[in-house]
Amino acid sequence: MTHTVRFHRVLKAPPERVYRAFTTAQAMCKWLPPHGFTGEMHQMEVRVGGEWRMSFTNLSTQAVHSFGGQYLELEFGRFLRYSSRFDDPNLRGEMITTVQLRSVFCGTEMEVTQEGIPELIPPEACHLGWQESLLLLTQLVEPDIPNG
């Protein structure tokens, strides 16, 4: 048995900037790790069929959780679909994350769906982690810093 989570956000940023936050290693390390974790990108080949790998480190315990996957579909500024697998053998299976971006008058409407979340991860924990990550994503993409 697996879980699925869905999120909807409207961001005050253009879709291209939001897309870059999902496809730039430094950006992913800044926003994806939930509170209490740091992130490190080990590999990122942003192309259909390209692979990516990263790890989260718990700042309190120093426990490392590594995972990675493959880019399945990419459409600049509009759509991403990628797979993920944990290196931990207790967290089996493949997750699929789909990100849909749509330009709206105030920025970007974003829909995120993550399917195939291993049964051992409580859905509430996944929701909490994604909520924290999406807050960090918002803080990263909404500022429009000229000549920065």
Question: Over the chain, what is the mean pLDDT?
Answer: 96
State the distance between the two ends of the chain, measured CA to CA, in whole angstroms: 47
pLDDT tens per residue across span 91-138: 999 999 999 999 999 999 999 999 999 999 999 999 999 999 999 999
pTM of the full structure:
0.94
* Ramachandran assignment for 102, one of left (phi > 0), alpha (psi -120 to 50 degrees), beta (any other): beta
Neighbouring CB atoms inside 10 A of 60's CB total 8
In the chain the domains, ranked by start, together with CATH numbers, are 2-141 (3.30.530.20)
pLDDT tens per residue across span 54-87: 999 999 999 999 999 999 999 999 999 999 999 9
Q: Please say if the pLDDT value at position 19 is more than 90.
A: yes
